[in-house]
Amino acid sequence: MQVYDCVIVGSGPAGLGAAFELIQAKPGVRLLLLEREQVSSGGLRNDCKMNFTWPIGFPLEYWNADISARYLARVEQFLEPNILPQKNLTTYQKRASRIGVELLMIRQSHLGTDGGLRLIKDLLARLERHGVEISTEEAFVSVDREKKIARTDRREVGYDQLIVAPGRHGFDFLRHFMKENAISYTDNSIDVGVRVETRLEHYPIVKDYYDPKFIFPERTRTFCTNSGAAHVVQEKYMTDDGRPYYSVNGHAYSHEKPANGLVNFAILRSVEFTRPIASGQDYAENLAQLAMLTGGGHPIMQRIGDFRLGKRTMREGLNDDLYDFVPSLSSCTPGDISLAMPSKFLRSIWKALKQLDTIVPGVLHPGTILYYPEIKLYANKPLFLDDHFMAAPDIYLIGDGAGTSRGITGAWASGIRAADGIKKRKGW
Ligand X SMILES: Cc1cc2nc3c(=O)[nH]c(=O)nc-3n(C[C@H](O)[C@H](O)[C@H](O)COP(=O)(O)OP(=O)(O)OC[C@H]3O[C@@H](n4cnc5c(N)ncnc54)[C@H](O)[C@@H]3O)c2cc1C
Q: Which residues bind ligand X (CB under 6 A)?
A: 9-15, 34-37, 40-43, 46-51, 57, 139-140, 165-170, 173, 224, 233, 235, 249, 251, 399-401, 405-408, 411
Looking at the Cβ atoms of 16 and 96, the one nearer to ligand X is: 16
**Least distance from ligand X to the Cβ atom of residue 240, Å:** 16
Residue 143 or 360 having the CB closest to ligand X = 143
Phi-psi map region of 256: left, alpha, beta (phi>0 left; psi -120 to 50 alpha): alpha
CB of 373 to ligand X, least distance (A): 14
Least CB distance to ligand X at residue 332 (A): 15
Give residue 309's identity as a one-letter amino acid code.
L
184 φ/ψ angles, rounded to the nearest 5 degrees: -70, 145
* Residue 12 vs 334, nearer CB to ligand X: 12
CA distance 393 to 162: 9
The least CB distance from residue 144 to ligand X, in Å, is 16
Least distance from C-beta 179 to ligand X, angstroms?
Answer: 15
Q: Which of 427, 318, 418 is nearest to 368 (CA)?
A: 318
Residue nearest to ligand X (CB): 43
- Backbone torsions φ then ψ of 319, nearest 5 degrees: -140, 175
| CB nearer ligand X, residue 55 or residue 57 | 57
CB of 48 to ligand X, least distance (A): 6
Q: How far is the CB of 259 from ligand X (least distance, A)?
A: 17
Distance CA 95, CA 150 (A): 54
Parallel, antiparallel, or unpaired for β 395-397 and 156-164?
parallel
In the complex with ligand X, the residue whose CB is nearer, 124 or 364, is 124
Pick the closer one to ligand X by CB: 46 or 294. Answer: 46
Q: Please, which residue, 160 or 235, has the CB nearer to ligand X?
A: 235
Min dist. Cβ of residue 251 to ligand X (A): 5
Instruction: Tell the smallest beta-carbon distance from residue 339 to ligand X (Å).
Output: 25
Nearer to ligand X, 306 or 400 (CB): 400
Closer to ligand X by Cβ: residue 188 or 380: 380
Q: Which of 57/382 has CB closer to ligand X?
A: 57
Smallest separation (angstroms) from ligand X to the CB of 317: 27
